[in-house]
Amino acid sequence: MRYERIIKGTFQERPNRFIAYAEVAGKRELVHVKNTGRCAELLKPGAVIYMQESENTERKTKWDLICVEKGERLINMDSQIPNKVVQEWVEAGNLFEDVRLVRPETTYGNSRFDLYVEAGEARKIFIEVKGVTLEENGVVRFPDAPSERAVKHLEELCKAVKDGFEAYVFFVIQMKGVRYFTPNRDTHLAFCEALKRAQTAGVHVLAYDCLVTEDSIRIHSEIPVVLGSPLLKESTEPLVAWYRKNHRALPWRENPDAYRVWVSEIMLQQTRVEAVKPYYERFLNAFPDVEALAEAEEDRLMKMWEGLGYYNRVRNMQNAARQVMEEYDGEFPKSYDQILKLSGIGNYTAGAISSFAYGIAKPAVDGNVLRVVSRLLASDADIMKARVRTEIEHLLEEVIPADAASDFNQGLIELGAIVCVPNGEPKCDSCPLAHLCRAKEQGIQMELPVKTKAKARRIEKRTVLIFRDNEMVAIRKRPTKGLLAGLYELPNVEGHLTRKEVIEYGKSIGLTPVRVKKMSAAKHIFSHVEWHMIGYEILVDELEKNCSEKMIFAEKEEINERYSIPSAFESYIREYDNKRNIIHKECSRS
């Protein structure tokens, strides 16, 4: 869009919304201000302005204010121009294909929208255009004054979507070189909330900056829209820079292909980073790719997972690996939605794989991220509620930098792991976001996040039995469903048995104890249950010969190599091993 008859002047004052005075060629001139917004940050005495001379010689105001210089930026202030530049841009085929009609000022319901567009065979589209001139530190906002009319337009656009129309709010940023657009919460919170509701209802929210000269303006490029949290948006650059400089060297970060990221993320659920490292290397050596995992025998797979717990995780991994082989010809899918459909993969894991391996701007929200965001925003929302997690995912997805999705997501996780820690005081002095953190500002870091306590775990008493002869130990396979499904275990029974009851139990299954020795008490915690255990080592004559129960009798070395024993029994296996070692040493001395 180009203007004619442009002249340069100097702004002096603005007596009311519609007129201003400027110095033009050494004379004080009356100027018409087309933009009725406040624009106080732009129209300051001494500011360089550009005006258009009116063709109407009888007009009281000879000049129309077109644009103003602010620092090195030129800002167009003509409130009548945004509709025209958008119409010109749409007609040129920049937003829709096969545009057949563009009509300005079209009535719908109780509103009149700026543009009505028909494209293709059946697309009918309303566009409401908003010119934006308010800028601070590269952030542009709208409106600069309360606008009930703007809220009404948004509500009407929502109705249009319900009636089958497409609807757009198009923010024309009447300048170049801005960072992002956000609604002006300070002047009109109701508009901000209405805009978010409109987006949820299916109204598209766009913002484009413009190339502006003293005598022209045209739409240039799309800029980010932040409807949720500008504070999170401001955190992106310092967080990414911090992560790139300070992140830990972890084996799964060395070559972050989708398979390796996937394996590490499943392992890291419910398990500490340091504990995962040796398991990760062992697992990858055994199953270096999706095909190897898909074809793995169950007992070997369980053995490679032994010690990590939550065995359904690795079963789901194998199911997902088989999906990849069958549905994607063995190539790990490269879209978030496809990854999310794989067995055992939820929003977090899909977001982690998508962003870490492929740079897709999807959030990966785990406990660390929930804690960091809650403190950064000083949010008292309960992070145990699914609704709160979903809200945080939406807030983050809006601000993830497209060119640094992996570093941003990993930065949030890393920050929560080593700085904004869950136990003890957060290390605010070394936090790259301390200057933005509202919890730090308010001194409530230790009160956040809000997290409802989980229900108390059920307590179960169990007696663990190590039946052995001189060479072998008895183990058995658990049922295919339920807790520790399909794994191998030391025989155990409910309740705490006395020595006499252990002898009677042994006899009942065909194993007559020669010697019974009590072992230490132990405890193991599952998600919803605690086992409080006592144990006995029971020496019998011959395990295989007389046992009526379905058990496996194997030497201890064979068990270590072949069968996956859950960590619930680790303390008893370790105690038994220690005793064997002592006996072997004594025998060797003699």
Q: Write out the catalytic residue numbers.
A: 265
Contact between residue 141 and residue 184 where contact means Cβ atoms under 8 Å apart: yes
Phi first, then psi: give them for residue 371, nearest 5 degrees: -70, -45
Whose structure tokens read 């956040």?
448
Phi first, then psi: give them for residue 396, nearest 5 degrees: -75, -40
Contact between residue 467 and residue 507 where contact means Cβ atoms under 8 Å apart: no
Peptide bond into 278 cis (omega under 30): no
Question: Which DSSP category does 225 fall into?
Answer: B
Angle between helices 312-327 and 298-305 (to 10 degrees): 130
558-583 residues labelled b (16+ CB within 10 A) or e (exposed): ebeeebbbbebbebbbebbeeeeeee
Phi first, then psi: give them for residue 32, nearest 5 degrees: -80, 130
Kindly state the tokens that stand for 580.
Answer: 């064997």
Closest CA to 199 of 173, 219, 225: 225
Neighbours of 18 (CB within 10 A): 13
Kindly state the tokens that stand for 45.
Answer: 């005495």
Helix (H) / strand (E) element for 265: namely: helix 258-268
Beta-carbon contacts of residue 364 (< 8 Å; ≥ 6 apart) = 348, 349, 351, 352, 355, 356, 409, 412, 413
Which residues are paired to 278 by β-bridges? Answer: none
Question: Which DSSP category does 342 fall into?
Answer: S
Distance of CA 5 to the CA centre of its chain: 52
Question: Which DSSP category does 335 fall into?
Answer: S
How far is the C-alpha of 484 from the C-alpha of 479, rounded, in Å?
Answer: 8
Kindly state the tokens that stand for 429.
Answer: 């002095």
Beta-carbon contacts of residue 310 (< 8 Å; ≥ 6 apart) = 269, 270
How far is the C-alpha of 590 from the C-alpha of 569, rounded, in Å?
Answer: 32
Contact between residue 310 and residue 270 where contact means Cβ atoms under 8 Å apart: yes
Question: Which DSSP category does 331 fall into?
Answer: P
Closest CA to 130 of 186, 203, 194, 205: 205
Contact between residue 215 and residue 6 where contact means Cβ atoms under 8 Å apart: yes
Helix (H) / strand (E) element for 65: namely: strand 63-70
Strands 111-119 and 99-108: antiparallel
Kindly state the tokens that stand for 573.
Answer: 């296996």
Phi first, then psi: give them for residue 63, nearest 5 degrees: -120, 150
Q: What is the dihedral of CA 486, 492, 494, 497, to 10 degrees?
A: 180
